[in-house]
Amino acid sequence: MAGNKKPKNTKERIIDAARMLFSERGYRETTILDIARETDLSEAALYEYFKGKEDLLITIPDLWVSQLLADMEDQLFGIEGAFNKLRKYIWWNFRRIEQSPWDAKIVYLFLKTNRNFMETEVYLNVKSLYNKLVEIFEEGRQSGEMNPNLDAHAARALVVGTMDHMVIRWLLTDMSYPLFKGLDETFQLLANAFRPIPPAGGFRF
């Protein structure tokens, strides 16, 4: 390949236009005609590439999420310790989201709360992404770095829930502040949640 801009094929052009329009105006507020005009195609031409509007929507983040999954192991490679891995996981994920707010909007606002989400390709990849957390918790539990009785699935719910909440807030305010704002404090709380309960003399209520 020459180092120039890639000449995009029609399918990619449609996806690019739809991603932008859906993210900026919302799914319902974007018409097929809008997308057709943006790509200099007729409405009918879009149906050569996608079964319909909904199919187009769920296809958009396919590539992004599968690239995320591929990148994850690479990013975590060589990091020692469960807390360090957890920290890296969160920071990496937030950076990817900050870099691709349009894809993030489609996943977090339109897809994740969609009743068909669980039947999508994206769902499988997101699940794999989250399962890495369970691995990290297992490691922390076994190494003694984390509470030996830690329930890995409850822990995952805490991390995923907290991250989702922060991301959705940020997206709904139109990225009007840095996504990382307050993340250190939040991470400290999460870390406390997973630490071993200190020995001897115990705690009171």
Partner DNA sequence: CATCAATACCTAATGGTATTAGGTTAAATC
Partner DNA sequence: GATTTAACCTAATACCATTAGGTATTGATG
What is the binding site for its own copies (CB under 8 A)? Answer: 26, 28, 81, 83, 108-110, 112-113, 115, 117-118, 145, 147, 150-151, 153-155, 157-158, 160-166, 168, 172, 182, 185-186, 188-190, 192-195, 197-205
Binding track over 129-168 against DNA, x by CB under 7 A: ----------------------------------------
String of DSSP letters for 63-132: HHHHHHHHHHHHHHTT--SHHHHHHHHHHHHHHHHHH-HHHHHIIIIIITTSTTGGGSHHHHHHHHHHHH
Picked from its own copies, DNA, none, the partner binding residue 121 (CB below 5 to 8 A depending on kind) is none
What residues between 23 and 42 interact with DNA by CB under 7 A? Answer: 30-33, 40-42
In this complex, which beta carbon is closest to its own copies, that of residue 39 or of residue 101?
A: 101
Contact (Cβ atoms closer than 8 angstroms) between residue 136 and residue 90: no
In this complex, which beta carbon is closest to its own copies, that of residue 69 or of residue 168?
A: 168
Buried b (16+ CB within 10 A) or exposed e, 123-134: bebbeebeebbe
**Amino acid letter, residue 107:** V
Which residues have CB under 8 Å from 116's CB, separation 6+?
54, 58
Residue ranges in contact with DNA by CB under 7 A: 10, 30-33, 40-45, 47-48, 52-54
